[in-house]
Amino acid sequence: MSYFKTINKIAYEGPLSKNPYAFKFYNPDEKIGNRTMEEFLRFGVAYWHTFTEDLSDPFGLGTAIRPWDNYTGMDLAKARVEAAFEFFEKLGVPYFCFHDVDIAPEGSTLRESNQNLDTIVALIKDYMKDSKTKLLWNTVNNFTHPRFVHGAASSNNADVFAYSAAKVKKGLEIGKELGAENYVFWGGREGYESLLNTDMKLELDNLGRFFHMAVDYAKEIGFDGQFLIEPKPKEPTTHQYDFDVASGYAFLQHYDLHEQFKFNIEANHATLAGHTFEHELRYARVNGMLGSVDANQGHPLLGWDTDEFPSDLYTTTLAMYEIIKNGGLGRGGLNFDAKVRRGSFTPEDLFHAHIAGMDSFAVGLKVAQRLIDDKVFDNFIEDRYSSFKEGIGLDIVENKADFRQLEAHALGLTEIKHTSGRLELIKATINQYLLTIYAE
Ligand code: XUL
Ligand code: CO
């Protein structure tokens, strides 16, 4: 049975195409450097937003109209798998991602939930045999059910810690079974609402213990996916422990987990933390911790996670700049943790949204590669820090200077000369690159 009958395989038709069901910029086979766009961008579809989500919000019921709406229970779960693989095939996307509860309904006991998962995982495995689409990462949802009211691995309740561990254990087994490239931890309830009733030290220690147990179990069963922490500062909790990359990195180092984990960086989470997307990518990159990306964008006027499909080319360019400088994403990818707007409720909108996101990142990739080839930032930055290439600056970076020597240098200064930061020129140059990349 076909769920998207009216839609054919999405092809690349070039920047001037007027076909809404074609890529204008994402050309999977086009070489950028020594990799194809498909190999570089490693796009993934988020199962929850595309197949499970009904577009409800805190003030309104779901609006989504989906071809699998007339099914319920396990039949619904199976229909979604069938629809998902048709969607992947038509979009030509190399990866997908899911939480346990996205693919199979929870049963009335943990045992029953696991049985439901086994049935659906077997079905997914079957579809994967004939599909080029692989599993970028899976995770478990340890935040929606009321049992997680006080947290999961950071709960005050040891039974919930155990339940959460059992779910992650199953998640790792599923990751192994389906050959997941990564396993993600997003701590939706791993934080607190108020310090007045919270033992922060115990919660952090328990979270550290939990991650160590996960690492140990993965090793034990031979699951070799890369472990990723996805930072988010707030929502649903008031304060989440994996606040941003910097605090997450400090946590990982403190609990001696930094060799086992990298970060899955989400654009909208970065802005919620008061950072730009590229700040989070840069912070992870320069510390060797950039693992994967949840590609979306927030709304500048709203203070919550709107999870929009990426369309801002300026941001995709600066994001791809970081990713190229990182040498790509390795086992990671660009997962569209993004949902269509509540008003975009038709199945066709799922295609338009992904095409928009894929095209936006393809442009970002091309422009960023050109900026790098032409050393637009590199030349500016090298020049700007040239004082560290000789004299006292060289002594500083070679760890040869001390406070006495620096004082002597400062006392001998008659004036301090500065050079312009040239920010307006740099921004204008980015605009020029953005507007001329397809002009040739
Ligand atoms: C929530 C979020 C999650 C994670 C996976 O804000 O981003 O969907 O990506 O749990
Ligand atoms: Co996410």
Q: How far apart are CA 380 and CA 267, in angstroms?
A: 26
User: What atom in ligand 1 is closest to the CA of residue 235?
Assistant: 6
Q: How far apart are CA 23 and CA 360, in angstroms?
A: 10
* 337 CB near ligand 1 (under 6 Å): yes
Q: Tokens at residue 358, please?
A: 């894929």
* 102 CB near ligand 1 (under 6 Å): no
* 186 CB near ligand 1 (under 6 Å): yes
Whether 102 is a known active-site residue: answer yes
Q: For residue 11, what are the β-bridge partners?
A: 22
Q: Closest ligand to 184 CA?
A: 1
- Residue 439, pLDDT score: 85
Q: Of 57, 69, 75, 99, which residue is the catalytic one?
A: 99
3-class DSSP assignment, residue 380: helix
Q: What is the pLDDT of residues 235-264, one digit of tens each?
A: 999 999 999 999 999 999 999 999 999 999
3-class DSSP assignment, residue 392: helix
Ligand 1 centre to CA of 115 (Å) is: 24
* 297 CB near ligand 1 (under 6 Å): no
* 230 CB near ligand 1 (under 6 Å): yes
Ligand 2 centre to CA of 337 (Å) is: 5
User: What atom in ligand 1 is closest to the CA of residue 48?
Assistant: 8
Mean pLDDT, the chain, integer? 98
Average pLDDT of the residues in 34-45: 98
* 181 CB near ligand 1 (under 6 Å): no
Which percentage of the chain shows pLDDT scores above 90? 99
Ligand 1 centre to CA of 63 (Å) is: 21
3-class DSSP assignment, residue 268: helix
Residue with tokens 């038509």: 90
**Amino acid making up residue 254:** H
Whether 254 is a known active-site residue: answer no
Query: In terms of C-beta density within 10 A (0-12 exposed, 13-18 middle, 19 or more buried), how is residue 426 classed?
Result: middle
Ligand 2 centre to CA of 230 (Å) is: 7
Q: Whose CA is nearest to atom 4 of ligand 1?
A: 186
Q: What is the pLDDT of residues 363-392, one digit of tens each?
A: 999 999 999 999 999 999 999 999 999 999
User: What atom in ligand 1 is closest to the CA of residue 99?
Assistant: 10
* 339 CB near ligand 1 (under 6 Å): no
User: Taking 80 as the threshold, does the pLDDT of residue 440 lie above it?
Assistant: no
User: Taking 80 as the threshold, does the pLDDT of residue 219 lie above it?
Assistant: yes
Q: Are 224 and 177 in contact (CB under 8 A)?
A: no
Of 50, 139, 190, best ligand 1 pocket probe by most atoms within 8 Å of the beta carbon: 139
Burial readout 178-215 (b: 16 or more C-beta within 10 A, e: otherwise): bebbbbbbbbbbbbbeeeeebeeeebbebbbebbeebb
Ligand 1 centre to CA of 240 (Å) is: 13
Q: Closest ligand to 152 CA?
A: 1
pTM of the full structure: 0.98
Average pLDDT of the residues in 125-150: 98
Q: Output the CA torsion sign for 37, 276, 311, 437.
A: negative
Query: In terms of C-beta density within 10 A (0-12 exposed, 13-18 middle, 19 or more buried), how is residue 421 classed?
Result: exposed
- Residue 185, pLDDT score: 98
Q: Whose CA is nearest to atom 10 of ligand 1?
A: 186
* 203 CB near ligand 1 (under 6 Å): no
* 308 CB near ligand 1 (under 6 Å): no
User: Mapped to the 3 state alphabet, what secondary structure does 178-235 carry?
Assistant: HCCCEEEECCCCCEECCHHHCCHHHHHHHHHHHHHHHHHHHHHHCCCCEEEECCCCCC
Q: Of 102, 242, 244, 307, which residue is the catalytic one?
A: 102
Average pLDDT of the residues in 345-356: 98
Of 102, 143, 266, 339, best ligand 1 pocket probe by most atoms within 8 Å of the beta carbon: 266
Q: Whose CA is nearest to atom 2 of ligand 1?
A: 186
Q: Whose CA is nearest to atom 7 of ligand 1?
A: 337
